[in-house]
Every structure is written in structure tokens, then in C-alpha cells.
């Protein structure tokens, strides 16, 4: 059981990592899965695709739509070997949880060799799939040809200024007094530098 320990650790990690929630309606993901499509969260590096995925999975668990044990999360960005066999990963999952059908969450899927064909094979077996990856790979003409009609792409953008302020537990309104203007200007400069 090559991946068993990692499967269990990753299930825990989703619920242990600190995150601030972004506005996102998880019902959108559930509806796409009902259409038997792969959900792809794409965007630039460091825009929060992984944390948004964690938020989605936490929400699905907290609303009783799935259980923690249903999650098969694997991060391909840390792989040295790109020829991983997803059947071995699934076999290890089913050894741990023989009565369940996993929600497959694959982070940075573009790092896996021949990932479009592997995703189609999983989709054809009826798995619910959530993937993240960079725009360059997941929005390429080749991928859209291979996955035509099988994937729902949701582009994730960096925080806008209002989200940035909410992460700092601040709210800007038009009625703020002039004495707070300096504070917001400072925050805006930080936003411009760090996003």
C-alpha cells in the first residue's frame, strides 16, 4: 500500500490548514458533478486554487453531502516521478475504504504525465473529480480538444481589494471618514505589492 499513509494524511490536512473563506457557491460544483463533468479550477499561481478546493470539500463535508473518508486528495506538484499509476492510488484508497466511492481532488494535475487520458478514464468510471492547475496547461487548445464536453472550467482570480480588506478584517464603505483614508491607502499599497 504505497499511498495509504499519504491518503490519510491528506484527508486530515484539508481540515487542519487555516484558511479564510472566499465567496463561492458550492452548489455550482455539485450541479456540474450531476452532469458527470470534471470540475477544473484554473488560474495563475498563488491565487488560492488549492485553498478554495479545501473550502469546497469542507463545505461538502459540513453539509453532509460527503464524508471526510470520501476524499481522495493528491498533490502532484511535489512529485518527482510523473509516471504515477492512478490505479495503484485508487487500489490503496479502496483498501482503506472498500465501501466508498471517492471524490478525487487532484492538485496541480498538469504535473502528471498524460493526465487528460487518465482523467477521462476516471470520469468514465463515474468518479466525481475536482482538479486544479495553471492556466497555461489546463486551458491549452490540446486539452480543450481532448476533454471537450467533459470538463467544466472555473477560472479563479486573485483577491480583489474588497476581499483583501475582508481578509484583514476591514470593511471599506463610501461613508468612511477622512481620518481612515490613510489606513486604506496603506492597505491599498500593500494590496498592490502582495495581491
Residue 51 and residue 83 share a domain: yes
Report d(CA 65, CA 187) in Å as an integer: 38
Give residue 55's pLDDT: 94
- Looking at mean pLDDT, say which of 23-32, 88-97, 135-144, 145-154 comes out highest: 88-97
Number of folded domains in the chain? 2
pLDDT band at 103 (very low <50, low <70, confident <90, very high): very high
Which of the 8 DSSP states describes residue 34? H
Mean pLDDT on 92-104: 96
Cell numbers at residue 191, please? 494590496
Long-range residue pairs from 138-147, CB within 8 A, at least 24 positions apart, any chain: 138/40, 138/42, 138/109, 138/110, 139/42, 142/116, 143/116, 146/116, 146/117, 146/120, 147/38, 147/116, 147/119, 147/120
Q: Are residues 147 and 180 in the same domain?
A: no
Closest CA to 61 of 73, 71, 74: 71
In tens, the pLDDT along 155-174 reads 888 877 777 777 777 776 66
**CATH code at 135?**
3.40.50.300
Looking at the structure, tell me whether residues 97 and 193 fall in a common domain: no
34 and 88, same domain (yes or no): yes
Instruction: Give the domain extent around 178.
Output: 160-195
Match 469542507 to its residue by C-alpha cell. 58
Same domain, 124 and 188: no
- pLDDT tens figures, 14-66: 999 998 888 888 899 999 999 999 998 888 877 889 999 999 999 999 999 99
Helix (H) or strand (E) holding 72: strand 71-75
- Together in a domain, 125 and 114: yes
pLDDT over 90, % of the chain:
43
Of the listed ranges 53-57, 124-128, 150-154, the one predicted with least confidence: 150-154
Amino acid at each position: 500500500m504505497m499511498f495509504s499513509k499519504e491518503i490519510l494524511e491528506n484527508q486530515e490536512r484539508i481540515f487542519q490548514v487555516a484558511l479564510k473563506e472566499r465567496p463561492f457557491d458550492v452548489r455550482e460544483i455539485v450541479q456540474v458533478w450531476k452532469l458527470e463533468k470534471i470540475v477544473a479550477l484554473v488560474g495563475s499561481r498563488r491565487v488560492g486554487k488549492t485553498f478554495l478546493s479545501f473550502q469546497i470539500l469542507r463545505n461538502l463535508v459540513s453539509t453532509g453531502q460527503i464524508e471526510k473518508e470520501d476524499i481522495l486528495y493528491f498533490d502532484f506538484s511535489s512529485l518527482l516521478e510523473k509516471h504515477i499509476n492512478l490505479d495503484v492510488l485508487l487500489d490503496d484508497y479502496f483498501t482503506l475504504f472498500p465501501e466508498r466511492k471517492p471524490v478525487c481532488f487532484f492538485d496541480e494535475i498538469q504535473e502528471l504525465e498524460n493526465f487528460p487520458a487518465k482523467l477521462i478514464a476516471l470520469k468514465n468510471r463515474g468518479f466525481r473529480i475536482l482538479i486544479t492547475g495553471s492556466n497555461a496547461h489546463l486551458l491549452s487548445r490540446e486539452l480543450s480538444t481532448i476533454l471537450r464536453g467533459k470538463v467544466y472550467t472555473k477560472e479563479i482570480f486573485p483577491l480583489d481589494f474588497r476581499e483583501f480588506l475582508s481578509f484583514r478584517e476591514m470593511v471599506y464603505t463610501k461613508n468612511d471618514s477622512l481620518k481612515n483614508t490613510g489606513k486604506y491607502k496603506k492597505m491599498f499599497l500593500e494590496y498592490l505589492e502582495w495581491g
